[in-house]
Amino acid sequence: MTGPVPNSSDLDRFVGELSGRVTHSDRFDDQRASASRILERERDRYHTLFHSAPDPYVVTDRTGTIEEVNAAAGVLFGVPGSLLAKRSLADSIDAGARDDFRTRLDGLIRSGRTDKWLLALEVRDGRIIPVEATVIVAPERDGRESLLWLLRDTSVRLRTEESMHALNRSLNARVAQRTRELELALEGEQAARKEAEAANRIKTELFARLSHEFRTPLHAVSGYLEILQQNIHGGLTSEQRRDVERIHQAQEHLMTLVNMILDFAKLEGGQIELVMAEIPIEETLRIAETLVAPQFAKKSITYTHRPGDPSLTVFADREKVQQIVLNLLANAMRFTPAGGTVDLDWRIENDMLLIRVRDTGSGIPGDKTEQIFEPFVQLRAAGSVPSGGTGLGLAISRDLARAMGGDVRVQSTVGLGSTFTILLPLRKHTAAGKLSASSAAG
């Protein structure tokens, strides 16, 4: 049976449809080839990242059988990655923990969530390595599930932590030991301080008691000497009068020493009170120098006083200022040879009173200028005779000046002499050094 013969237009339409189908099929094949190339490129990129990752990665099936490992995992296990394939990950777990590992693995598959485990991994050389594992259940592919394991060796961190703990324990032990040593040292220091304070208190009390005990007979000697000098029991020959005068001088010298020791004892015990007031400078200095002027004349020492404004005053204790000046003048007299000179002058500088006592004595070595202010220290040139002092005058003078807010300083050149300077504030100051001070109106 013969069908109808198509005309030309039908034939053209059929050819066109057929051509369109062929063109569409070619385009689909191109797209599929392009997708295949992209997929291959992504797969290569994944494998590159997987195998070059610094952390160990392992891929297993749902039973824990190893399917793929990267290079870092091979290093961790101690065997090439190709030898790990098809092995069960459970075989590399410490034998005592394998049953627990399989139980947890079943639970993980059922839950389908990401989890973190701590595993004891047995490597090729038999060592057990603590490993922190992050386990990810991958989506099903080809009808089966895979597990992705990110492993991290924590042995280095644990060793570091243990080292830190050991270091902390060592440091704590050393700190505790050092603390105890310091406590013992502090206890010893406190005990030594108490002993020193007790010894100093005993010394001060002894000085004070001896001074009082000496003063009583010395006053009696002075009274009897006055009786002899007044010829109450008959006249004295010239020789006897000369001897009495010498006895009187020795008695006055002893009384001066005793008073100085008593002052030092009071200073050490903090028992001296300062009566602070506005006092005339020039008048105070004049009174002090009258007590030593006869000794300058007797020793043939030229003494010069350069006066200042008689109306100027200073806030100080008059008696203590006179004592300081008298000590410095007596000191200059003792260490200045016959024919020498001693000068006293004063000036105001930056709200401070500066009183200077200059002498032409033997001078003081530079390394001794502070030592001379220590109690009972006396310096003298080789071959010279002792001066007869106690070594307390300069120490007392500096302490008294500092108690009034000032100071005593010295400049000296060996062979040329010394200059002692008393510094006192012109106005009222609260500094009272280690002394208690009471202020009087004035």
- Residue 384: CATH number of its domain: 3.30.565.10
Name the domain boundary from 133, 153, 173. 153
> Which residue range is the domain that position 145 belongs to?
51-153
Name the domain boundary from 223, 252, 270. 270
Distance (Å, whole) CA 377 – CA 391? 5
**Do 289 and 431 belong together in one domain?**
yes
Distance (Å, whole) CA 61 – CA 66? 7
**Do 262 and 338 belong together in one domain?**
no
Number of domains in the chain: 3
Name the domain boundary from 251, 270, 289. 270
Give the tokens for residue 387: 């001066």
Count Cβ atoms below 10 Å from residue 279 Cβ, excluding itself: 18
**Do 176 and 247 belong together in one domain?**
yes
Q: What CATH number does residue 115 fall under? A: 3.30.450.20
Tens-digit pLDDT profile for the chain (442 aa)?
445 555 556 566 655 666 666 566 666 677 777 777 777 777 767 667 777 777 888 888 888 888 888 888 888 888 887 788 888 888 888 888 888 888 888 888 888 788 888 888 887 777 888 888 888 888 766 667 788 888 888 877 777 777 777 878 888 888 888 888 888 888 888 888 888 777 767 766 776 666 667 666 776 777 777 788 787 777 888 888 888 888 877 777 677 777 767 666 666 666 677 889 999 999 999 988 888 888 888 899 999 999 888 899 999 999 889 889 988 998 899 889 999 999 999 999 988 999 999 999 988 888 888 888 887 776 655 444 445 556 778 888 898 899 899 999 999 999 899 999 999 998 764 444 434 333 333 3
For residue 10, tell me if it sits in a domain. Answer: no
**Do 142 and 160 belong together in one domain?**
no
For residue 219, tell me if it sits in a domain. Answer: yes
**Do 262 and 345 belong together in one domain?**
no
> Which of 389, 391, 380 lies closest to 414 in space, CA to CA?
380
> For 42-73, b where at least 16 C-beta lie within 10 A, e where not — what string?
eeeeeeeeebeeeebbbbbebebebebbbbbb
> Which of 134, 138, 119, 136 lies closest to 77 in space, CA to CA?
119
Burial of 76 (0-12, 13-18, 19+ CB in 10 A): buried
For residue 45, tell me if it sits in a domain. Answer: no
**Do 219 and 353 belong together in one domain?**
no
CA-to-CA dists, residue 121 to 23, 86, 125, 202, 414, angstroms? 59, 17, 11, 78, 88
Q: What CATH number does residue 251 fall under? A: 1.10.287
**Do 337 and 419 belong together in one domain?**
yes
**Do 186 and 70 belong together in one domain?**
no
**Do 418 and 318 belong together in one domain?**
yes
